[in-house]
Structure 1
C-alpha cells in the first residue's frame, strides 16, 4: 500500500476518496465536494489516502496544532477488511504527527478524536463495511489508548445548518498514560478554533462551551 497525500480536489484520488466517504459516513458528516478545495490547500490540514492497485481503500484526515502541541484526527476510513488498512493508517499518521511535533521542538502531548457511541444511539451503518462498525471502531480506539472526556458532547453539523449532532464522545489519546485529566482551557480553546469554520452553530454547542468554562479540568474516562 502507498500513503499518498491529497492537496487538491483535482487529484483523481480525491474523487475516489470522496465517494468512499459518502459510502461510509452519514450525509451530515460529509463536506460537499467543492467545499474541500480550501481545506485541501491548507498546509495545516493533512489528508492522506491508502492506495492499493490504484484504488483508494482507506483514508485519514488530521491536523497538528503547534501552539497547543496536540493533534486532531478528523476521520479514519477503512474501505475493505483483511488488508491491514487500520494499522497502516494509524502507524503512518502517528509517525507523521511525532515528526511534526519534533520539528516544533516538542514531544506530542496527545491527539483528540470524536467517536460514535453505539450504546446510546443505534443506526450507524457506515455503508455496511464491518471494520467501520461503531462497536468495532470504539473498541479499537480503546485499545489504542483513547479515553473520553467527561462531559456531554455536542458536535455542530458540517452542513453548517445550525443542527446539533449528538451520540458522540469527545476523546483524547494522551502520549503519557499517567495523564488523568485535561485542563479545561485547552479543551475549550481547541474546540473554538476547530469549529471556527462553521458560522452557524447550535445553541447547545455554546451551552456546552459555557459549562466547560466553569470548570478547571475534565477527567479522562474509559470508553
Structure 2
C-alpha cells in the first residue's frame, strides 16, 4: 500500500478519489470537481490517497495551522474493508503532522474534526461501505482520542447555498489526554478561517460563532 499526495486535479488518482467521495458522502459534503483545483495546489492543504494495486481505496485530507499549532482533518475515506485502511491512513497522517509541528519547533497540540452523530440523523448510507457507517466511524474516532466540544454545531453547506448542515459534532483530539477544555477564541477564529472560502453563510452558523465568542473556554466531552 502506498500513501501518495495529490496536488492537481489532472492527477488520474484524483479522478478516482473524487468518484470515491461521491460514492460515500452526501452531495452537500462534496466539493465540485473543478473547485478542487486551488485547494490541491495550496501547500497548506494535504490530500493523500491510499493506493492498493493501482487503485485508490482510501483517502484523507487535512491541514496544519502553524500559528495555532493545531490540525484539522477534513475527511477520511475507507473505500474497502479488510485492508486496515483506517490504521494506515491515521498512522501516516499522524507521522506527517508531527513532522510539520517539529519543523515549527513544537509538539502538535491536537486536531479538530467534524464527526457525524448518527444518533441525531440516521439517513447517511455512505454508499453501503460498511467501515464508513457513521456508528462505526464514531467509535473508531473515539478510540483515537477525539472528544466532542460542548456546543450545538452546524456548518455551512459546501454547496455554498446558505444552508446549514446539521447532524455533526465538532470534535478535538488533544495530543495530551489530560486536556479537558479548549479556548473558545481559538475555536471561533479557527472556524471563521476554515469556512472563509464560503461566502454564503447560514444565519444558524453566524449565531453559533457569536455564542462561541461569548465564552472563555469550551469543555471537551466524551464521544
TM-score per shorter chain, which class?
A: over 0.9
What's the counterpart of residue 123 of structure 2?
123
C-alpha distance in 2, partners of 1:15/1:186? 35
Q: Return the offset for 1:136.
A: 0.3
> Which runs of 5 or more structure 1 residues have no equivalent in the other structure?
none
C-alpha distance in 1, partners of 2:6/2:215? 39
User: What is the TM-score normalised by the length of structure 2?
Assistant: 1.00
What's the counterpart of residue 100 of structure 1?
100
What's the counterpart of residue 146 of structure 1?
146
What's the counterpart of residue 49 of structure 1?
49
C-alpha distance in 1, partners of 2:168/2:42? 27
What's the counterpart of residue 190 of structure 2?
190
> Which runs of 5 or more structure 2 residues have no equivalent in the other structure?
none
C-alpha distance in 2, partners of 1:104/1:196? 24
Determine helix, strand or coil for the equivalent of 1:191: helix
C-alpha distance in 2, partners of 1:114/1:64? 16
User: What is the TM-score normalised by the length of structure 1?
Assistant: 1.00
1:136 matched to 2:142: no
* Deviations, residues 153-177 of structure 1 (Å, cap 9, x unaligned): 0110000000000000000000011
1:167 matched to 2:167: yes
CA RMSD, aligned part only? 0.4
1:37 matched to 2:27: no
What's the counterpart of residue 64 of structure 2?
64
C-alpha distance in 1, partners of 2:214/2:103? 35
Q: Return the offset for 1:122.
A: 1.1
C-alpha distance in 2, partners of 1:153/1:53? 39
1:76 matched to 2:64: no
Which structure 1 residue ranges, 4+ long, deviate > 6 Å from structure 2? none
Determine helix, strand or coil for the equivalent of 1:209: helix
Determine helix, strand or coil for the equivalent of 1:123: coil
* Deviations, residues 71-112 of structure 1 (Å, cap 9, x unaligned): 000000000000011100000000000000000011100000
* Deviations, residues 20-66 of structure 1 (Å, cap 9, x unaligned): 00000000000000000000000000000000000000000000000
What's the counterpart of residue 219 of structure 1?
219
C-alpha distance in 2, partners of 1:47/1:214? 34
